[in-house]
Amino acid sequence: MSTDGWKNPLRDPRDKRLPRIAGPCGLVIFGVTGDLSRKKLMPAIYDLANRGLLPPGFALTGFARRDWETQDFGQVVLDAVKAHARTPFNQTVWDRLSEGFRFVQGSFDDDDAFDRLEQTVEQLDEIRGTNGNHAFYLSIPPNAFPVVCKQLARSGLSAQEGLDQWRRVVIEKPFGHDLKSAIELNGIVNEVFPEDSVFRIDHYLGKETVQNILALRFANQLFEPIWNSHYVDHVQITMAEDIGLGGRAGYYDGIGAARDVIQNHLLQLLAFIAMEEPTSFSSNELRSEKIKVLNATRLVGPLDETTARGQYAGGWQGGELVPGLKEEEGFNPESHTETYAAITCEIDTRRWAGVPFYLRTGKRLGRRVTEIAVIFKRAPHLPFDATMTEELGQNAFVIRVQPDEGVTMRFGSKVPGSLMEVRDVTMDFGYGSAFTEASPEAYERLILDVLLGEPSLFPVNEEVERSWEILDPVIEHWAAEKAGPDPYPAGSWGPESANTMLARTGRTWRRP
């Protein structure tokens, strides 16, 4: 058979299924010794290399105060990869990747150290062919952002040299602690990096199940007609964790659950669920729809009744007796930091008018689960004997973000037998059984997108500022209260006040 004129479809550049491979570039991580770097960033970089998605000359430079040589840094990366990488260890991949490692020792106020970093990056351009393309990952506390940004500017590291070269900055949350500080922070970052070079990480947007919200809503005809206030009674967005805060006092005490995850992850989930269809998935279109819906989102009051906050006390969790927050190492024994937060929002648009969105999150809850439950109104009329529908609840469409990623639909069905008895049943889609490919980690997707310069999954400063604007009144309201958060036992589903908050409108939280 002649193959003249045959083109391998995998080589057609218009084929969007082609793996997206980053061009020549390097990544510098500030805060390499931190938990995030070891548990998420280093393993994700290895996984990308293992999947063949990094350029051959890729360079990874660590910057930290530790008195390390490049070999010591390499060993730390190796340990992190062996402990936390998703894909199997491959010596050849590792050898190639680790040739591009460099380490620069110094503190953030040390001009010499930044000058050395600048020389290192220049040498990498020559030796590894990184071509002047570099991303700077600030995996550091936000109070260090200003000094690092200034150093990057002073040493010339932030300046891209040619039109075809790039310099980007990656910022980890928290982006401020309220609207005012977020505006200040964004100002400082934008003085050095133009907004299109700033990549703010909200790792929830890197999750497959979160991106799947867009596929479910906009690739199907099934859901759109009922995705509005005519059919939807309310929406519950839950991010529950079973872990406590031991070891995280430095970051968490005084911050609390609302700032830690509602301001970012949960409001982003709300935006994905509630936004209108973008005309395309270009980053501008997607962001502009998210911004529109966040602009229409507001808190429902009175906040005493429509919000709840709690703090875990000691208790039994998973067969283990665990301490309360106040007993955790490093926390103030008088701490008023909330480890559980729940708020009520509404969205002032024709689609969503009058539909409450309940957002809740907590540490040391019954189990780890993140889900979005869209709860539908009851059928307007039930032509059944009332005793036959006692076990019929409201229809629900539940997006299981993690773990056990998938979707559940709950609806009524006839119980087999001679009576017309109706009871709730569920129908399930699970990623594990529907697909053979395992989902990449959120950080793999996001780091790759940074290197590719693909901004869709990164909130712009307008989104960040708008999210603070939504949340600030709750934080201020809680701060003005004399009493601290309501205690709840570890292993439970939060404080009683959270149940009361929903009960006032005759609703109850789902028990995931």
Q: Write out the catalytic residue numbers.
A: 265
Which amino acid is present at 483? Answer: A
Nearest to 472 by CA among 334, 271, 298, 254: 298
Q: What are the helix and strand counts (H, E) for the chain?
A: 17, 18
Among 113, 261, 365, 490, binds ligand BG6 (CB under 6 A): 261
The residue to which tokens 């992190």 are assigned:
80
Contacts (CB under 6 A) with ligand BG6, residues 198-217: 203
Query: How many CA atoms lie within 13 Å of 230's alpha carbon, on the beta-carbon side?
Result: 7
- Distance between CA atoms of residues 501 and 480, nearest Å: 19
Are 509 and 375 a contacting pair, CB within 8 Å?
no
Minimum CB–partner distance for residue 199 and ligand BG6 (Å): 16
Minimum CB–partner distance for residue 139 and ligand BG6 (Å): 12
Binding characters for ligand BG6, 149-188, by CB under 6 A (x = yes): ----------------------------------------
**Would you say 421 or 449 has its CB closer to ligand BG6?**
449
Minimum CB–partner distance for residue 260 and ligand BG6 (Å): 5
Contacts (CB under 6 A) with ligand BG6, residues 283-322: none
Peptide bond into 403 cis (omega under 30): yes
**Would you say 259 or 290 has its CB closer to ligand BG6?**
259
How many residues sit in the footprint of ligand BG6 (CB under 6 A)? Answer: 5
Residue-wise DSSP of 246-263: TT-HHHHTTTHHIIIIII
Minimum CB–partner distance for residue 145 and ligand BG6 (Å): 17
Contacts (CB under 6 A) with ligand BG6, residues 83-122: none
Question: What b/e string do you get for 24-33 counting C-beta neighbours within 10 Å, with b at 16 or more?
Answer: bbbbbbbbbe
**Would you say 73 or 493 has its CB closer to ligand BG6?**
493
Minimum CB–partner distance for residue 58 and ligand BG6 (Å): 25
Among 125, 208, 233, 241, binds ligand BG6 (CB under 6 A): 241
Residue nearest to ligand BG6 (CB): 260
Among 125, 260, 371, 472, binds ligand BG6 (CB under 6 A): 260
- Distance between CA atoms of residues 210 and 286, nearest Å: 14
**Would you say 125 or 260 has its CB closer to ligand BG6?**
260
Contacts (CB under 6 A) with ligand BG6, residues 370-399: 370
**Would you say 9 or 432 has its CB closer to ligand BG6?**
432
Residue 402: C-alpha distances to residues 209, 370, 425, 431 (Å)? 8, 5, 21, 11
**Would you say 105 or 238 has its CB closer to ligand BG6?**
238
Binding characters for ligand BG6, 335-374, by CB under 6 A (x = yes): -----------------------------------x----
Neighbours of 88 (CB within 10 A): 7
**Would you say 138 or 392 has its CB closer to ligand BG6?**
138
- DSSP, collapsed to helix, strand or coil, labels residue 102 as strand
Minimum CB–partner distance for residue 496 and ligand BG6 (Å): 23
Q: At what angle do helices 267-274 and 283-295 cross, to 10 degrees?
A: 100
- Distance between CA atoms of residues 367 and 238, nearest Å: 11
Minimum CB–partner distance for residue 341 and ligand BG6 (Å): 12
Q: What angle do CA 413, 402, 138 make, to 5 degrees?
A: 155
Residue-wise DSSP of 482-511: SS-PEEEETTBS--HHHHHHHHTTT-----
Contacts with ligand BG6, residue ranges (CB under 6 A): 203, 241, 260-261, 370
